[in-house]
Structure 1
Amino acid sequence: MAQFKELVFSGMQPTGNLHLGNYLGAMIRWIELQKTMECIYCVVDMHAITVWQDPADLKRQIREVTAAYLAAGLDPKKSIIFNQSQVQQHAELAWVFNCVARIGWMNRMTQFKEKAGKDRENASLGLYAYPSLMAADILAYRATHVPVGEDQKQHVELTRDIAQKFNNDYAASIAANGYGDAFFPLTEPMIQGPATRVMSLRDGSKKMSKSDPSDYSRINLTDDADTIAQKVRKAKTDPEPLPSEVDGLKGRPEAENLVSIYAALTGTTAEDVLREHGGSQFSGFKAALVDVAVTKLAPIAGEMRRLMADPGHIDAILVDGSDRARVIAAQTMDAVRDIVGFVRSR
């Protein structure tokens, strides 16, 4: 079996504000991974335009997501940080994968059905083919591991299917070109972060989302200390005090969500939180949560504002990251051209 160098790839779309769910569900894990593994973190702006984006807003949001990466603790010297559209091999490899993937595979993708809604015939072809581009994002670097949320796990499984079919379809050419018995790895999903599902502050049965019309449903990474405190105080709860054991959170989604957030922000467990706060009324627990959230998140917002005041600095980091990413992706794409049978200049 082919041996692949361990490499992590992941990314976020520059659409709307990044929020507490993104931070706890992904970014904390990303920061830890860069200490021990080679990591590539992308701002996936090509995915963003699968639905229409105002061009001026998109530019600002690309820089804002990059600022969030940096403010949260990603280090451009340890990890490659770039925006997808600056590395053309993503789009080129996606076309090859469009010709490898099957229509039936795409039809099973639940996210397309959710995003397209009832007006599916009016959705963009890009939205439908989104998973093929995601596979190209990952496999342009022959990444072995992808930190993902539960909602993206299906796309990583599709990436594995595409890699396997490419390896099978072109097995003879892969071997003839000196790449052994497989060119692409079967990428492993890594379910992210200390809180893999952070729920809405207004409805504990729904995932925290930047598309929710209520800004009080989420804590944005751009929120200042006063705004964070106000949102925590207004978070939906129930009339009962906190239980002393985790089993007591069953059937109480808002209570469970706030306890999970507190545990994730403090690096502890729900059991630890309930040992300390079990029996407390929510007014007291929310005050403690405000202190924790403001201490952890307000400095990120402050650093983001500082970075956004110097867009040239952000752009320079993206250019440097894109140059480094392109070296890897170009090597992959040159090999793919040879394997597929394209004629190219040497």
Structure 2
Amino acid sequence: MLCSRSTRAVALARRYSNVSSTPSTIQELDRYDNLPQNSRVFSMIQPTGRIHLGNYLGAVKSWRTLSNSNPTSRFIFGIADLHAFTSFKPASELKENRYQAIASLLASGLDTSKCILYFQSAVPEHSELSWFLTCMTSMGQLNRMTQWKSKAQQSQTSSITDEKVMESTKAGVFCYPALQAADILLYRSTHVPVGDDQSQHLELCRNLAKLFNNTYGVDYFPLPKTLLTPAKKILSLKNPEKKMSKSDPVQASCVYVTDSPEQIQSKIRKATTDSIQGDWSFDPVERPGVSNLINIISGLTNESIEETVASVQHLKDHKGLKDYVSELIINEFSDKRQLYDELLKNKDYLDHVCKEGRDSAREVASKNLGEIKSIVGMD
């Protein structure tokens, strides 16, 4: 039985998930025109604690839109805590980050009656399938991935065959694309909402699905299609040449769902723009700071970049543009911040949500892994 605080949190979650739902943007999300009925959509987010504006517009808002708009499809969303283990964090910090991530997703409007929400590490089938796929993945394929080089702080021309690179790169950082493929294929996912920085990993996943099917003469794994999210990458407020990130040493560069109105106003007011006067334009090369703000407006209002540029022409100066951005973010996050605070005080309810999600995820994962083991001869 959930305590009274849990009951209030459940009521708030239901209330806000209904209030904050956005209009359907499936046509923008699905490059294949529409999400087919009975699709299986899978995506994960790393537990870096509170989610920020980039996480929200780049992933979570799209998850909510998709799961609210397609009653015939199955949606599986997770906290990728096994992936988070590729960089060391004290146990207490990792545990709190996991809670904060779940609370952030619930506060952002994800409805667990319409999707499965769980911790990756709670479903051991992820790790088991990852081993099978790692054994089928060549070192060359992994070496061509670009993100491990960034995570290992290597140049994009680096190779794992270089002795110094090999010594300084952890195996988990190098091999994690195979785990990522296992995450997706474990549920026989048909669609994966990703940003453009993950498209290379999804291509590897498709290649491994083809390799498995061809090796064993089966048609078991579908080839998951990309759902590119409508919002472009949200960039740092202080340095619009890199993406918004919690790890940025300049905290004013990142807006969190949990920020107060005063904090949001202060961060947006200090955002890097330019000194160009006259009409507003979207030009990421010549006007990266202004273009980033326009991109934020577009993501929050569900308007195209062209529509957004036209709609802000009445704002006569940079202060007016920043005030408008601040107002939009504050209105978007107001209810979510209240619910986040309520949820994070109620770990019993969060544990209950995660347990239900784990059980639902394992029901699918264990059945599929059993079939996979039968195919490879380990039943």
Same fold, judged at TM 0.5 (above) = yes
**Equivalent residue, structure 2, for 1:265:** 300
Match of 1:71 among 107, 110, 129: 107
> CA deviation digits over 1:14-41, x for unaligned, max 9?
1243210111111111111102031000
Which residue identity lines up with residue 172 of structure 2 in the other structure?
A: G
Matches within 5 A, 1:1-346: 6-35=39-68, 36=70, 37-118=73-154, 120=165, 121-171=167-217, 174=218, 182-192=219-229, 194-241=230-277, 243-246=279-282, 251-278=286-313, 280-342=316-378, 344=379
| Structure 1 residues 312 and 142: CA distance shift in structure 2, 3 A | same
> CA deviation digits over 1:158-214, x for unaligned, max 9?
10011110001111xx4xxxxxxx11111111111x322111101122111122111
Alignment: residue pair count: 330
**Equivalent residue, structure 2, for 1:178:** none
Structure 1 residues without counterparts, runs of 5 or longer: 175-181
| Residues 242 and 277, structure 1, Cα contact 8 Å, conserved in 2 | no
| Residues 242 and 274, structure 1, Cα contact 8 Å, conserved in 2 | no
Cα shift at 1:242:
5.4
Q: What RMSD in Å do the two structures reach over aligned CA positions?
A: 1.8
Which residue identity lines up with residue 169 of structure 2 in the other structure?
A: A
Structure 2 residues without counterparts, runs of 5 or longer: 1-35, 155-163
**Equivalent residue, structure 2, for 1:179:** none
Cα shift at 1:225:
1.4
| Residues 78 and 118, structure 2, Cα contact 8 Å, conserved in 1 | yes
2: CA distance, partners of 1:339 / 1:301: 47
2: CA distance, partners of 1:15 / 1:246: 30
Cα shift at 1:321:
0.5
| Residues 202 and 226, structure 2, Cα contact 8 Å, conserved in 1 | yes
2: CA distance, partners of 1:274 / 1:103: 46
Cα shift at 1:269:
2.9
| Residues 4 and 185, structure 1, Cα contact 8 Å, conserved in 2 | no
Where 1:237 maps in the other structure, the secondary structure is: coil
> CA deviation digits over 1:63-121, x for unaligned, max 9?
11111111111111110000001100000000000111111110101000111124632
- TM-score, normalized by length of structure 1? 0.91
| Residues 243 and 274, structure 1, Cα contact 8 Å, conserved in 2 | no
Which residue identity lines up with residue 27 of structure 1 in the other structure?
A: V
> CA deviation digits over 1:208-235, x for unaligned, max 9?
1122111111101221211111111111
Cα shift at 1:277:
2.7
| Residues 204 and 254, structure 1, Cα contact 8 Å, conserved in 2 | yes
Percent identity, aligned pairs only?
38
Which residue identity lines up with residue 207 of structure 1 in the other structure?
A: K
